[in-house]
Structure 1
Amino acid sequence: MSEQIDLAEYLFTRLRQLGVESIHGVPGDYNLQALDYIEPAGISWVGNANELNAGYAADGYGRIKGISALITAFGVGELSAINAIGGSYAEMSPVVHIVGTPPLTAQNARICLHHSLGDGNFRIFADMYAKLTVAQANLTDPSTAPSMIDNTLRQCVLQSRPVYIELPTNMVKQKVSARSLKFPLNLSIPHNDEGFEDAEVELILARIYASKQPFIIVDGFTAALGITAEADELVRVTGFPTSTTSFGKGIVNESYPNFHGIYAGEAGKQVYRPWVESCDLILRIGPLSSDVNTYGFTTIPNPKYTIDFHRNSVEIGGTNSFTNVHVKPLLRKILDRIDKSKLPRYDPYPDLGNPRQQLEALTPAKTDGVIDQETFWQRISTFFRSGDIILTETGTPSIGGRDFVLPPQTTLINSGIWLSIGYMLGASQGAALAQRDIIRSVTTTHTLTPENPVTADAPPSSRSSQRTFSGRTILFIGDGSLQMTVQSLSDTIHNKLPLTIFLINNDGYTIERFIHGMKALYNDVQPWNYLHAPIYFGADPNDASYPIVTRRAANWGELFHVIGEKEVQEGKGLTIVEVFMEREDAPDALKKLVASAARRNSGQAPPTETNEEGPVRRGSDEKMIKAAG
């Protein structure tokens, strides 16, 4: 490599070194020259129908691959994508957003250019993005551009959140030093202070050994923090009763005998909640204390008995808060030092439920019976296999999917706070592409077999690090959500990505109906001929290399027949299964959750209870803020 290369070449070469094999985006006149450098860097251009879907797809790609990239044009393009970037920030997905901007001469002269607001202010959109990204770089100086790129990309990976890079058109071909590309980007996590860390470890171990009724809650940020392996080991080694949040589902091995599904507070089983609230130690790993993820804040434990593990801090017992401590080495040291002989031996806890046993205990469905929300999500679990990536869209799929019984080495993606309807269709395109990129890159060096599955070799922030990827990408989405971002089907077909979609057709926005307006016209959607969509978006039904499979199921017998078909099980091309459900049917947990949301939206105060320490206001903002830190 020459000592001097074009700036755009440096940027895309560095992205490829970090594992980006595909870039999402939409061409525009301010980024066209930069796009010429993508393919020579060994990266594939995805090409999306619009910037919002490109952002959603980049988010999904980043959650699987550990980093992703999105490129848009200045102004109109970047604002179209900003909703997706907001979600990436809120839910910790590492996305590099590259924006092609006008030439510096025009910006400095404050010329009235297209895609601007016409006021000569070319910083306004960058100022917006500064609120939604953890690092920004405006590449205006060839002498500093390489280091700015490296620093920005490093923050993207280490913080697992989006970053923003401006590439002015006149800077694309500017020569920069290539020397740094000879060395891998430093992604190492800073070491904790040894003495300080030892004190924390001993304090935490002492609390564990002294407990009589411990409990572990694994939350969704565990994966983004790169501590999936440590969390899983803690659950396995201690044998403590364990649940996940909805956002954290799928992170730990659900076949462990001490795994008891999702703890749902007031929306779950009533035997579960009082038992958890009587625990004298609760370990929360990677917590997200949002209203949806905590079922109206009813699963946030008493801080007095809680140890919260965040990225750079640990809160112990509501009184000790240690900052500037990195959670991964801290957990590693706890696991290395834990003495199994000192772990508590408590009396058998009540039957908290085991999802696998509950699935086996279901009464067989009648073949002509209506497909109901209450049991569909458990029964469909028989379709899953190890290595699958499963996505559940906001609404009945995300709530119902909490009852999935997942095989080991399965990845589940749902939304824990952003809840942008339609996100999952774009994200599934990105996830399917990331899975294919991982398989392609690994199978070039070894043969893929069931005994030798693909393992993601991803940066430490990867949601999927140490996961195998030899399965399918499966999406569950409602009819209203699909209509939001249906052009993502075109992106999927264009790139011949294998994707299986279970489309829940219940005639509109069911979750909104339960919140308010069950019969209201504004919760209706126009009925579509959904199974015709692949042909409309250009799929070739005669292309044997990319099969198109469309099926419908209006009762249990039809559904079981469909998921038993070899073509559907293989999922080699685009498969859409339209599943019909009743318009006013929903999982019981969703009904309870939206009832709580409806009370808050109307301004009603949450119910108040009393315990031995005094009044407890369930769902209060005060409790949420204290628990969230």
Structure 2
Amino acid sequence: MTRKVPLANYLFTRLRQLGVGAVHGVPGDYTLRALDYLQPAGLRWIGSCNELNAGYAADGYARVKGISALFTTYGVGELSAINAVMGSYAEFSPVVHIVGTAPRNAYTSRAMVHHSLGDGNLRIFADMYAKVTAAQANLIDVKTAPETIDQTLEQCMVQSRPVYIELPSDMVAAQVPEVRLSVPLNVSPPKNTDEAEDHVVSAVLSRIYASKKPYILVDGLVAPDGIVDEVSEFARITGFPTFALTFGGGIIRGDLENFHGVHAGKFGTLDFTSYTDTADLALLFGPLLSDTNTLGWSTVPKKEITISLRRTAIELGPSSHNLHIKSFMQKLITRLDSSRLSARKPTPSLSSPRDLIKNLPEIDPSAAIDQDTFYLRISSFFRAGDIVICANGTPLVGGRDFVLPVGARLINSSIFLSVGHMLPAAQGIALVQCELAESGHTPGRTIFFEGDGSFQASAQELSTIIRYRLDVTIFIINNEGYAYERHIHGMDEEYNDVAPWRYLEAPSFFGAPTNGSYKIELHDVKTWGELDKVIKNAGFQDGKGLKMVNVRMGRDDVSTNFKAALQLAGRQLMADAK
């Protein structure tokens, strides 16, 4: 006789097999029975303060672990989370969103159940999610449910995008065959045909060998495309001048001599346009070319010189080839003959943030901290294994100047840019670090840079960090409001102000223990000397427990070069209004 298991157990076991260790969410009456099956499947429940934050946390978890799970209730819960799921969809973060729904007969009878709109259309929320997820499943049929789950989870992994699974409350304990659980899911990248792959590899190599002035431009989708190692190796072998876009920061090894940092055009700390504007070849990896990521598209290379390489497409000028990038890159590297490269030597005219750090003047301990050099100077605090997270706003911009050690990683946003996203995401990332420690690995630290306005959008998740005793170091960039927006429009307007919170009292309010069982360290700094003393302290450097630094900066302080970009955006805003 075929052994059977409850459907919820089947779903959660599949998640565990894919590497998920915890499920984020908020309980609801349509989810409660299913939650009982989490622990038996080896999963941990992480209760967030609201569904939106749970979605943000699942997003952060997925960006590091490669997959995550979010569990909300029908209607009110799933709609609270949809903003986060949309961001995951836009930026290719593989989140499995499970929704506990009303029993099946409520749909057939068009019942006026709670959390609905009261019009009998109980499919409306699923219809919304179909627009922002890569695959959808409604587990209404016992016979097909296991196969449907498997196919949906495979799409989550293969496309690296969110998927949506409806689990009706009367299907939670439905008995399904266990046999499929013994067969691993097929999440391998699709294979290219040798003939098609060889043809395009040869075409790309011909362009590379003919180039006299090439460069490499790395964007953030290199990570979900699964080619971080390949792109780094390609940059190392060719020696071509290599830059990142903002979303691609931290992907290329910072110690490579030919890596020159983030390309932000004339609005960056370093301006590389004299080289990039006269180049004859741009190799663009993992592009997500939003206006913010490319400074109003000013750093997008000319199409006629660009070879764009994405997950399922290689574009050479006007022609596009449907090839999967992983095996393509491996073959490209294998067949690359470095002796035929005409541009192998370093380019002396190109500087890097490493050079800027070497030439920084000695700090005046009594001087106020400013955005122009804060992100360069704080780079000395980072070490291998760290995951450094930049919230949207001035930290996103400032993080372009980070110099990360080998083995450190940067997490930021590119296009969706939801304020409040990154504090819950930091919680999800810290949870992955905790899981690594529990499995015998040596994790790095979770280090988070957050503006005061962004912190106020999702501050409740500080309590989740404390509740689960996670290790997170937080630098709050406190400039009394939305400095990023001030420079676009409304420098002195009230709508760019935020309430003057006492940030360092938040851990106490959110239940931080006072008996020493969980380390809490709090610092308020406004001068370089005060900051230097904090980051050089061995106890602070260990990254254990919750550490918060309230970094006070000028109300309108942003980096000098980027100020011009914001002012240009402001002028464009006014011009568009006319």
TM-score with structure 1 setting the length:
0.90
User: Does structure 1 residue 505 correspond to structure 2 residue 478?
Assistant: yes
- Structure 2 counterpart SS, 1:329: helix
Q: Which residue of 2 aligns with 1:423?
A: 421
Q: Which residue of the partner structure matches residue 559 of structure 1?
A: 531
Aligned to 1:161: 161
* Residue in structure 1 matching 2:458, options 460, 481, 485: 485
Number of residue pairs aligned between Structure 1 and Structure 2: 577
Q: Distance in 1 between matches of 2:383 and 2:21?
A: 26
Q: Which amino acid aligns with 1:258?
A: N
Distance 1:521 1:377, change over 3 A: same
CA contact (8 A) 1:20 1:68 kept: yes
The answer to whether the 8 Å contact 1:154/1:187 transfers is yes
Q: Deviations over 1:472-527 (max 9, x none)?
A: 00000011111100001011111110000001111011111111111001111111
Render the CA deviation track for 1:313-337: whole Å, top value 9, x for unaligned. Answer: 1111x222112x1011111100011
Q: Following the alignment from structure 1 to structure 2, what is the Cα–Cα distance between the partners of residues 266 and 294?
A: 11
- Report the equivalent of 1:547: 519
Structure 2 CA distance for aligned equivalents of residues 419 and 592 of structure 1: 20
Show the counterpart of 2:320.
Answer: 321
- Listed one character per residue, the Cα deviations across residues 213-251 of structure 1 (whole Å, up to 9, x for unaligned) are 110001100001000010000011111110111100001
- Which position in structure 2 is the counterpart of 1:537? 510
Measured after TM superposition, the shift of residue 603 of structure 1 is 4.2
* Equivalent residue number for residue 474 of structure 1: 447
Residue 599 of structure 1: how far off its partner (Å): 3.6
> Does the Cα contact within 8 Å between 1:396 and 1:590 map onto a contact in 2?
no
Counterpart of 2:397 in structure 1: which amino acid?
A: I
Which amino acid counterpart does residue 353 of structure 1 have in structure 2? S
In 1: Cα distance, 2:53 partner to 2:82 partner: 11
In structure 1, C-alpha distance between the alignment counterparts of 2:565 and 2:176, rounded to whole Å: 54
Q: Which runs of 5+ in 2 are unaligned?
A: none
Task: Tell me the distance in 2 between the aligned counterparts of 1:565 and 1:270.
Answer: 31
Partner deviation per Cα, 1:46-101 (whole Å, 9 max, x = no partner)? 11111011000000000000000000000000000001001000111100000000
Residue in structure 1 matched with residue 547 of structure 2 by the alignment: 575
- State the structure with bigger RCO (CA 8 A, min sep 6), 1 or 2: 1
Q: Does residue 16 of structure 1 match 2:47?
A: no
What secondary structure, in the 3-state scheme, does the structure 1 residue paired with 2:47 have?
A: coil
**How far apart in 2 are the matches of 1:567 and 1:542?**
18
1:245 partner amino acid: L
Q: 1:310 Cα deviation (Å)?
A: 1.2
CA distance in 2, matches of 1:541, 1:357: 44
Structure 1 pair 511–174 and aligned structure 2 pair: CA distance change class (3 A)? same
Please give the alpha-carbon distance, in whole angstroms, between the structure 1 residues aligned to 2:385 and 2:221: 21
Q: Which residue of 2 aligns with 1:279?
A: 279
The 8 Å contact of residues 266 and 295 in structure 1, kept in 2 or not, is answered as no
Distance 1:435 1:227 in 2: 22
Report the secondary structure of 1:217's partner residue.
strand
CA deviation string 1:29-59 (max 9, x = no partner): 0000110000110111111111011000000
Distance in 2 between residues matched to 1:552 and 1:543, nearest whole Å: 21
2:271 and 2:105 map into 1 onto residues whose CA distance is 68
Query: Aligned ranges for residues 112-511 of structure 1 at < 5 Å?
Result: 112-268=112-268, 272-316=272-316, 318-323=317-322, 325-345=323-343, 349-441=347-439, 443=440, 448=441, 454=442, 470-511=443-484
CA positional deviation for 1:595:
2.6
**Structure 2 counterpart of 1:257, one-letter code:** E
SS of match in other structure, 1:92? coil
For 2:412, give the aligned amino acid. N
The code of the aligned residue for 2:452 comes to D
Letter in 1 for 2:337: D
Specify the alignment match of 1:458 in structure 2.
none
Q: Percent identity?
A: 53
Question: Structure 1: where are the runs of 5+ without partners?
Answer: 449-453, 455-469, 606-629
Query: Which has the larger displacement, 156-165 or 351-360?
Result: 351-360
Q: Say if 1:562 and 1:568, in contact at 8 Å, map to a contact too.
A: yes
Aligned partner of 2:565 among 593, 609, 619: 593
User: Which amino acid counterpart does residue 427 of structure 1 have in structure 2?
Assistant: A
Aligned equivalents of 1:233 and 1:346: distance in 2? 14
Give the Å deviation of 1:541. Answer: 2.2
Q: Name the aligned partner's letter for residue 527 of structure 1.
A: P
Specify the code of the residue in structure 2 equivalent to 1:56.
Y
Q: Aligned-pair distance for 1:253?
A: 0.2
Deviation at 1:346, TM superposition (A): 6.5
Q: SS of 2:447's equivalent?
A: strand
Q: Which residue identity lines up with residue 358 of structure 2 in the other structure? A: E
Aligned-residue RMSD, C-alpha: 1.4
Alignment of 1:45-124 (within 5 A): 45-124=45-124
